[in-house]
Amino acid sequence: MWTAGVGWRGVDFEVVVVDSSGAETLAPTGFGGARVGALIELLLECAARAGGALDCVVESTNGIIDGHLLAAGLRVFRVDPWSLPQRPPHGSVPARVLAEIGRAGSSGALNRLGPGTGSLAGREAECAANAAGSAEAELELGRDGRYFTRGSGKRLEVALTFDDGPHPGYTPQILDILHRYGVTATFFPVGLYAAAHPDLVARIVDAGHGLGNHTWSHPHLPDLSRDEVLRQVEATGDALAKAAGAAPGLVRPPYGARTPDVLRWLVEPGLTAVLWDVDANDWASPGAETIIANVTGGVTAGSIVLMHDAGGNRSQTVEALPRILEILLERDYAFVPVNAASLT
């Protein structure tokens, strides 16, 4: 069995592969955000050399690569902070550390991920408890106009949102479809990919779509300190400002994972936290028809819809989007970007 540790450091992913004895079959190698395809190809080559026996190990601050690994058919495991040494301020633990933990198969340290379970497999109850415990903070921030899950419903409007991009394959297709139907949406890119594809961020804004901040590396924010959360948001804001001319005023926590502290840290720089009330569940690749039903069956006046333009294979999202737009347009919905005016 070979094991690949996949970490991140600033604008790069870091990969190392070891065999069953711990010897490196691939020395630490860096891949920028624009070279995810090359990273996947290399891991598939390693899997073939290992006779198909390759495990990939990530950690909870790196939630933007596991979906791509899974879509390629690779086995993926997550390690949580309590099983790891201290991280650097803006990165994961070294890829070699992740590979060693995977090779050792430490009891209780590894969580197997799958297309239908998502990046936080095994932590669902914890996330639900954190969300429930955030209700008072949500009410407080909502009264101040700093937290929304949907609009007021006073108008027959819906806000489509797309997370985790930009992706050079899927984002342009989604933009083309939105243009064809004359529909405006809001995109929440992650900083690492925004820095790699500034042209796509610029295209989003030039087309009149809204823009929000989805953190740098798509971490599970409750695992981070205040300084780490703020750095994730600040670095992403800087990348988006460089590409689009201005940093957005909206922020969305990955997975919607939150605690009262996390919510207050997110809005501390003067941002508004935006979640959703309709989840397409397209991240799980359930089929285009299911995605269509999830959206059109859940939307009411004022809904904010969660979809994805990256983070894995999004061909089903691309396939489903035209029919979603047609159905909602037939129901006389107006499509609006997420902003203070559309939420009140």
Residue that terminates a domain, selected from 113, 136, 153 = 113
List per-block mean pLDDT (blocks of 10 residues) for the chain, which spans 344 residues.
96 97 94 97 96 94 96 96 93 97 85 91 96 97 96 95 98 98 98 98 97 98 97 98 96 98 97 98 97 98 97 97 98 90 59
Per-residue confidence (pLDDT) for residue 343, from 0 to 100:
62
Task: Please check whether residues 137 and 109 belong to one and the same domain.
Answer: no
Task: Please check whether residues 107 and 136 belong to one and the same domain.
Answer: no
Domain hosting 235: range is 128-343
Per-residue confidence (pLDDT) for residue 109, from 0 to 100:
87
Task: Please check whether residues 35 and 135 belong to one and the same domain.
Answer: no
CATH number of the domain to which 194 belongs: 3.20.20.370
Residues contacting 174, CB < 8 A, separation 6+: 162, 309, 317, 318, 321
Residue 136: which of 270, 271, 228, 258 has the closest Cα? 258
Task: Please check whether residues 69 and 196 belong to one and the same domain.
Answer: no
Beta strands in 179-317 (DSSP E): 186-188, 210-211, 250-251, 272-274, 278-279, 303-308
Going by their DSSP bridges, the two strands 250-251 and 272-274 should be labelled as: parallel
Task: Please check whether residues 107 and 171 belong to one and the same domain.
Answer: no
122 found inside a domain: no
Strand partners, 158: 303, 335
> Catalytic residue among 163, 164, 223, 282, which?
163
324 found inside a domain: yes
163 is catalytic: yes
121 found inside a domain: no
Per-residue confidence (pLDDT) for residue 143, from 0 to 100:
95
Cα–Cα distance between 284 and 255 in angstroms, integer? 13
Task: Please check whether residues 157 and 267 belong to one and the same domain.
Answer: yes
**Tally of domains within the chain:** 2
Task: Please check whether residues 170 and 289 belong to one and the same domain.
Answer: yes
pTM of the model as a whole: 0.96
120 found inside a domain: no
303 found inside a domain: yes
> Catalytic residue among 68, 197, 220, 308, which?
308
Q: What tokens does 250 get?
A: 């909206």
Residue that terminates a domain, selected from 79, 113, 147 = 113
Cα–Cα distance between 287 and 299 in angstroms, integer? 19
Residues contacting 146, CB < 8 A, separation 6+: 267, 271, 272, 273
123 found inside a domain: no
Per-residue confidence (pLDDT) for residue 341, from 0 to 100:
52
Task: Please check whether residues 216 and 168 belong to one and the same domain.
Answer: yes
Cα–Cα distance between 86 and 70 in angstroms, integer? 27
214 is catalytic: no
Task: Please check whether residues 134 and 281 belong to one and the same domain.
Answer: yes
Task: Please check whether residues 249 and 106 belong to one and the same domain.
Answer: no
Task: Please check whether residues 83 and 162 belong to one and the same domain.
Answer: no
CB count, 10 Å around CB of 260? 16
331 found inside a domain: yes
Q: What tokens does 113 get?
A: 């991920």
Residue that terminates a domain, selected from 86, 113, 140 = 113
Per-residue confidence (pLDDT) for residue 155, from 0 to 100:
93
Cα–Cα distance between 41 and 335 in angstroms, integer? 38
